[in-house]
Every structure is written in structure tokens, then in C-alpha cells.
Structure 1
Amino acid sequence: MLPYYLGCPSWSENAWRGSLYPADAQSSQLLGLYTQMFNAVEGNTTFYARPSAETVQRWADVMPAHFRFTAKFNRDISHADDLRERLSAAEEFLQLLAPLGERVAPLWLQLPRQFGPARLAELAAFIAEVQRPLAVEVRHPAFFAGEEDERQLNRLLLDSGVERICLDSRPLFSCISQDPAVLNAQSKKPRVKVRPSAFTQFPQVRFIGRPEPAENEAYMTQWLGKVAGWIEEGRTPYVFLHTPDNVLAAQLARRFHERLMELLPGLVALPELPKVEPVPQMSLL
């Protein structure tokens, strides 16, 4: 058991076959294999589409009790015109994920860039109704200006026991490249100032790395000290590592843990890559 949660944006990356996963791993085996190496995953899949009840039950059957799935509210909730009008949809969403129990913690509310200070009353009402462990990611420039609008947001989150997600996209935007994956990521990810906050016992970090592993080391060093400090304070951070196309995300996550072990003597190593027995082929005879 680790003193923090570590993971990637998803578990179903086909490019990980032959490195993180055995080359012959079946799609149905990927979640189980992932949970043997990491203890958390970002719930990006629920942002884009609601899973079926059958899919949620399959997840519940595979995810161990200690695992954490930071499910994002679907975008038809988080990106609505008024959050207060989507409370019924939010409750339905929570009921859909109920089979996962405490493994869905915290829920993530990823707000769009246009969600600004004038809408804080909506956010306050939404938080009051949800009554579940929650983390919020904001993208409006006013929330990164260090002025009264940002202070009001921080007071709301602190008073409500809600975490502010720390997004670090500096490595991504330091990259000058014509790689389509990099350009695509730069067009979609927010370019905002870093806010290494810890409003609750469970700080949340999203690190968007560069495609060249060595180029992430200096940025990662800053987070290693912060995460080690949080752990020593008795907090339980969540750390999620990305790369532009996420082909190297798992490698980056494992590297983060290796370096954290240098700062925290006694921290156990991540498990070795699991083995999967090949699926027998049916005879045609």
C-alpha cells in the first residue's frame, strides 16, 4: 500500500502492449493489469460518455478496494449553462457509479474556460448539493490572477472542503514540435499558471509532460518535493502523469515513483510488470 495515489489518464492504451502490458493481453484484461501496477486512474472516460450499468459493474468486479477512480462529471453537467439546472443529472450520474462505492473518490468537476467569477454562486450550490468528496479544476484566467476573484474561489473551496486540482501544463507548452500529437495536446490543454494548493487531505496533481522523458525531469523535481512534503504532513496526494499522446504516460508515472523513493526512504517500489498467460486458440480440427 502506497501513502499516495499514482496513475495515468486511462488504462486502455493500446500502445502499452508489449511494454506495460504483455503483447498478447486481451482488451478485457487491461484494467486488471493496470490495477496491479497503479492504484488510481483519471476518470476521463466518464467525461465524454456515460458508461452503461453493465460496464460500471465490470469495473467494480475488477477494481480492488484500495483503488481510486477519479470519475469526472459528464460534460453535459460540467459544461452546462447553469450547474444548478444539472443537479438531477448529477444525482443520476452518482447513482450510475454507485457500484464502485468509495473507489470513486474524489469526483472531479472539470469546468470550462468560460466558467468565470460571475458563476461562483452556481458552483457553491452544486457543491452543497453533491455532498461527496469533490475536486474542482478551473480554467478561467481570473482564477489564476492572484486577485479577489481567485481569493473568492479559494475561500469557497476551502470552506466547503473541496480540493482545487493542480494542473501543470508547463512541460507541454515548453515543447516546440511539429509532432501532431504535441500540437493536438497544445490546442486542447489549458495554459494556466501553476497553483500547487492543498485545500484538503487529498491534493490533486495533473502533470502534462513532454514526449521526451528526459525533458520532464526539471519540472518533475519541483513536484517531487511538494508531494513528499504533503505525504510527510500526513496528506494523501493524488498524482496523474500525462504525455501528449499518453504513449509514455505509464513510463513517466513509474519514473516519478522511482524518484520519490529517493526522497522517502522506505517507500516501496511499484510492482514488476505482470504476466498474462496467452489465451488458448481453439482448434479448427
Structure 2
Amino acid sequence: MWTHKAWQGRFLAHPLPSDERLRHYAHWCNAVEGNTTFYATPARDTVASWARQTDPDFRFVIKLPKLITHERRLTGVDDALRAFLDAVEPLGPRADALWIQLPGSFGPTDVPTLARFLRGLSRSHRYAVEVRDAAFFEDPRATRALEEALAAATAEWIPFDTTAFFRSPPTSDAERDAWTKKPHMPFRSLARTDRPIVRYLGRDAVAQTVEGWRRWVDIVVEWLREGRSPTVFIHTPDNAEAPMLARRFHDEVRARVPELDALPEPIADEPLTLF
């Protein structure tokens, strides 16, 4: 995500070599979704460069490859999983959670498969699961079965909150595109571990995005007061203002929990000079 074109020259200095962009991003936000790993397991050297560009307390939430979660649906994936875990090993403590995003077709009848998969995972990592079948949110039996499978592995349930996005019809090309692709999921805010993860999708209009996250500010403040350490990812359909919005969300939470650490100061985008 740190290579997003709309951020170049605004939130990140431009031009920047590709192996410097994450370092600049890490001065805006202290966590990132590792979404590119969904499409292919990265080279170990590439992951090592991510580690070099970030401090040990920077948080990566790294998505498992779709080969494991979508194509093979968590079955017969030992070799692919072993290769993935070896690739991300250079992150060390920065690998805050391995993110198991499951397809919308993965429903309550598939929970035993998920439970078996979780039981076989190395305890050297923590895991977080994102489901997209509405039955997990609406059917108490399905909810309970999933929660039991997660509890056995001390895994978190990642809610993807799209309620603010779907509250009114789209008004931009980016919103219209997201309207057809993003899941329309019921709201969920129950943390299962001491390190909950939230994904929030707002609108391209800043005011609508901020209005939609008000309840998350309340929830995150309560989690912090309980001693939890949440990670919150702020998205909009075009993501053009995402780093600024993430810092604004953090500022709103910190105004109510002053002991929360401040985010780092962005690296100044100094003009190029010949002298």
C-alpha cells in the first residue's frame, strides 16, 4: 500500500526509489496491511528490505496468499504455507499478525476446515481471520462455532466495517467501483484477544468518513482502557487521503487517552538542489 500513486509527492517524497517508500510511509503510520502477499509469496530478500525500512515496533498485518485461502481453501497447503512463513521470517516482531482472509463462499459448514488449519499452525505467530459470509454475523450458531475455532488458536476475528460506505449511493468513480467489489457486511465490534484488528471503509468525502468512524473511536478508547493494543486501518474507495485520515483517527483517540504514544513525525519532503 505504501506505493500508492496518489501519495507520491504528497505524503511521501517524490521521486523515491522503491526501497525507500516504506520508510517514508512508516513516518506517517505505524502499521500497514500487507495486501500484496495475497497475490504471491514475496521473495525473502524483499521482505528483508521491508524490515530494514521499519523499526521493530512497526506492525505488519500480512495476508496469506490466495493460493492457500481461496484456491485450496486451507486444504493441502503445507508446502505453500511453509514457503510463506519462511519468506516473512525476516520481519521478526514486526509481523504483528498473519491475516487469513477467507472468500465469501467460505461459510459455516467450512468451520471444521478452518479449525483444522488453525490447529496445525505454528505458535510462533499470531493469527487473525476475516470472514465474509453474512451468516457468521447473523446466525448465532455460526457465530459461536467460528468463535470456538478462533478461541482454540487464540486467533482474532477481523471485522471489515463497510456500513458507513454503504449508507448512501456512490457519488464518484472510485465509490462506484468499490460498490461492486466490497462486501456489504454486518457491523461487529467484539474483540477476542488483547490485540484486536479493525478494517474500516469510509467514503471519498472526508466528512462522511469521519462521521462514520465515530463509534470506532469510542470502541478503541474502551479497548485501550481495558489494556488492549488495537490496530485500526482506515480506507476510502480511492485511498487518496488515507495516511492523513489514519493520523486524524489516532489524534481523536489520543485526545481521550493522552497516554497513548504519538505517531512519528513525517519525513520532510525537501526540495532537490544542485548545491
Same-fold status (TM-score > 0.5): yes
Separation in 2 of the partners of 1:134 and 1:58? 23
Question: After the TM superposition, which parts of structure 1 deviate over 4 Å for at least 4 consecutive aligned residues?
Answer: 276-281
CA contact (8 A) 2:44 2:86 kept: no
Question: What residue is the counterpart of 1:22 in the other structure?
Answer: 13
Asked if the contact 1:25/1:278 (under 8 Å) is kept, the reply is no
Asked if structure 2 preserves the Cα contact closer than 8 Å seen for 1:42 and 1:71, the reply is yes
Is the CA contact 2:28–2:247 (under 8 Å) kept in the aligned structure 1? Answer: no
The answer as to whether partners of 2:162 and 2:201 remain within 8 angstroms in 1 is yes
CA contact (8 A) 2:20 2:53 kept: no
What is the distance in 2 between the residues matched to 1:15 and 1:156? 40
Change (3 A) 1:217 1:82: closer
1:105 alignment partner, SS class: strand
Cα deviations across residues 58-94 of structure 1 (Å, max 9, x unaligned)?
1122121111111100011110344121132112110
Q: 1:172 aligns with which of 165, 169, 181?
A: 165
Question: Aligned pair 1:126/2:133, yes or no?
Answer: no
Cα shift readout 1:170-222 (whole Å, capped 9, x = no counterpart): 12212422422111112111111011121111111000011011112232110
1:234 aligns with 2:227: yes
Query: What does residue 225 of structure 1 align with?
Result: 218
State the distance in 2 between where 1:156 and 1:94 align. Answer: 22
Cα contact 1:17–1:24 (8 A) shared by 2: yes
**Alpha carbons 2:158, 2:198 under 8 Å: kept:** yes
Deviation at 1:257, TM superposition (A): 1.1
Gaps of 5+ in 2: none
Structure 1 unaligned residues grouped into runs of 5+ = 1-9
Within a 5 Å distance, the mapping from 1:133-282 to structure 2 comes to: 133-277=126-270
If asked which structure has higher relative contact order (CA below 8 Å, sep 6+), I would say: 1
Secondary structure of 1:256's counterpart equals helix
Q: CA deviation at 1:237?
A: 0.4
Match of 1:46 in 2: 37
**Cα distance between partner residues in 2 of 1:124 and 1:22:** 44
Q: TM-score normalised to the size of structure 2? A: 0.93
Question: How many percent identity over aligned positions?
Answer: 39
Query: Take 1:24 and 1:278, find their aligned partners in 2: how far apart are those partners?
Result: 11
Residue in 1 aligned with 2:4?
Answer: 13
Residues 243-267 of structure 1: CA deviation (Å, up to 9, x unaligned): 1011111121011012112211233
SS at match of 2:61: strand
Paired position in structure 2 for 1:68: 59
Contact 1:24 1:278 in 2 (8 A): no
- How large is the Cα RMSD of the aligned pairs? 1.9
Tell me the residue number matched to 1:97. Answer: 88
SS at match of 1:108: strand
Residue identity in the other structure for 1:30: R
With over 3 angstroms needed to count, the CA separation of the structure-2 counterparts of 1:267 and 1:201, relative to structure 1, is closer
